[in-house]
Amino acid sequence: VWEKCLLIIRQSVDPQSYQTWFAPIRPVALNTNELTIQVPHRLFYEFLEEHYIDVLKRALNHALGTAGRLQYRIKPAKQEAAAFAVAAGNERGQRAPTPSNPFVIPGMTRPRIESNLDGKYTFANFIEGDCNSLARNAAKAVADNPSNTAFNPLVIHGPVGLGKTHLLKAVGNHITAKFPQKSVLYVTTDEFTNQLVTSIGNNSTNDLVNWYQNVDVLLVDDIQQLIKRKKTQDVFFNLFNVLRHNNKAIVMTCDRPIIELDIEERLRSRFQWGLTADLSAPALETRMAILASKASANEVHIAPPVMEFICYHIQNNIRQLEGVLNNLVLHSGVNNGKEIDLNLAKQVLKNFVTEINKEVTPEVIQRTVAEYYDLEVDKLSSSTRRRHVVMARQISMFLVKQFTDQSLKAIGRLFGGRDHSTVLYSIKTVRDLMETNDEIKKDLADLERKIRAGQGDG
């Protein structure tokens, strides 16, 4: 069958490529419609998938009909297998895998690998801020020079949704592009555990571990999943030692600091040998920059005030920010390209945060300002011209304008029936004062914070 395939392939690719990419492939099994081929290396497989998938499909269709399927195996490396047997100590006497006794890497099916390192997450689309610059720069340093052992292992930790996986995959993508000869593997700790469980089931744990040693850069996501998994910890401990001994780069992520990670002490201490860097929640400006960058990647336009409104409400989780964006795009699409305005944003946000249901009302603002300046709320709508009161009134109007969508006329009514030009004048006065008067500026920042904090119980 493979011969048949090769015939087709030979017609479709140039001889050089044929020699490089197809001649080294060995057919190893045929199970009704499923042909298994062995490739020398994981990168080899990826290259095939990326560049020759159509050719392969066509060949397969020809040889096996449309139901034909293709499985890959990676040729095990004998030499390093022996090295592991020594290093691991208790693994002596193992049978070295041979090409005639190939193993299937559990989970090594096509979709798995593709999703393992898609090109989606890069350093270019990772927005840097104070919250992540250490982690980002450490990750970049590893990616630029994976053989530099100073940062080995690098552990990136932080709460969910702040970019750990993004950075981890960015390392992988960068290395894949910059050092095509290096083999990179991204795996989650869950996947690793599953592979291990499968391998135990068919007595191929050594093969699995040996195979892992072909990896030059191992990216392990979510190592908190090691907790309570004693066997996984053991196997990973051995693997870690061999990889590190061979100067292979290891980057891991964790949802908590390593000292708080409840795993075997010997493993925990090793995880601390390199560098650990944490990710914390991004400041408003960083969140806005991230949202802006994701919006432009999606080719949608969101006005800055709407963007700001969204980012005020989503503070601790960038994935949620993306969720909001996706929903906005969806909604505006469904409504025939309806503009993404504040109303749409509010509507969508309601599905993400509960507090948004309680909106900032003019009453909340008046109450907060009055309390702040130690006045009675009524004073704000009275006709008093005392300087202190006038100031508080103007600031209230300014804040009502900023926080709500009341018209100038409506705001005038809320403040004792003043006309809209008075409101306009007040807003302008406050805006000017903010530029020149640091005290007012600070007052406003305090007030905005209080108003936002108070909206939940308003």
Residue ranges of the binding site for ATP: 161, 163-165
Give the residue with the Cβ less far from Mg ion, 127 or 397. 127
Q: What is the DSSP string of 38-60?
A: EES-HHHHHHHHHHSHHHHHHHH
Residue nearest to ligand ADP (CB): 163
Calculate the alpha carbon distances from 280 to 4, 121, 136, 171, 237 in Å. Answer: 56, 19, 12, 19, 28
Determine the Cα–Cα distance for residues 6 and 56; give it in Å rounded to an integer: 9
**At closest approach, how far in Å is the CB of 72 from ligand ADP?**
27
Give the residue with the Cβ less far from ligand ADP, 106 or 163. 163
Q: Which of 170, 135, 174, 132 is nearest to 151 (CA)?
A: 135
Say whether residue 223 binds ligand ADP (CB under 6 A): no
Which one of the spans 71-79, 84-92, 297-305, 317-325 is the region binding ligand ADP (CB under 6 A)?
317-325
Which one of the spans 235-243, 299-307, 315-323, 369-377 is the region binding ligand ADP (CB under 6 A)?
315-323
Determine the Cα–Cα distance for residues 431 and 243; give it in Å rounded to an integer: 60
CB 159 within 8 A of CB 193: no
318 binds, among Mg ion, ligand ADP, none (CB under 5 to 8 A by kind): ligand ADP
Determine the Cα–Cα distance for residues 9 and 27; give it in Å rounded to an integer: 14
**At closest approach, how far in Å is the CB of 255 from Mg ion?**
8
81 binds, among Mg ion, ligand ADP, none (CB under 5 to 8 A by kind): none
189 binds, among Mg ion, ligand ADP, none (CB under 5 to 8 A by kind): none
Site for ligand ADP in 338-357 (CB under 6 A): none
Site for ligand ADP in 101-140 (CB under 6 A): 121, 125-127, 132
CB 238 within 8 A of CB 209: yes
Give the residue with the Cβ less far from ligand ADP, 127 or 397. 127
CB 365 within 8 A of CB 399: yes
Which one among 5, 25, 196, 290 touches ligand ADP, defined by CB under 6 A?
290
Give the residue with the Cβ less far from Mg ion, 207 or 222. 222
Q: Which of 322, 327, 318, 333 is nearest to 279 (CA)?
A: 318
Calculate the alpha carbon distances from 144 to 43, 148, 287 in Å. Answer: 19, 9, 27
Give the residue with the Cβ less far from ligand ADP, 115 or 269. 115
Determine the Cα–Cα distance for residues 116 and 251; give it in Å rounded to an integer: 15
**At closest approach, how far in Å is the CB of 252 from Mg ion?**
11
**At closest approach, how far in Å is the CB of 166 from ligand ADP?**
3
Binding mask 141-180 for Mg ion (x = CB under 5 A): -----------------------xx---------------
Determine the Cα–Cα distance for residues 242 and 28; give it in Å rounded to an integer: 29
Site for ligand ADP in 143-162 (CB under 6 A): 160-162
Give the annotated binding-site residues. Answer: 161, 163-165
Which one of the spans 27-35, 316-324, 366-374, 404-412 is the region binding ligand ADP (CB under 6 A)?
316-324
Q: Which of 239, 226, 238, 232 is nearest to 197 (CA)?
A: 232
- Maximum C-alpha span of the chain: 96
Determine the Cα–Cα distance for residues 70 and 60; give it in Å rounded to an integer: 8
**At closest approach, how far in Å is the CB of 46 from ligand ADP?**
22
Q: Dihedral of CA 132/134/137/139: which sign? A: negative
**Which residues would be at the binding site for Mg ion (CB under 5 A)?**
164-165
**Which residues would be at the binding site for ligand ADP (CB under 6 A)?**
121, 125-127, 132, 160-166, 290, 318-319, 322
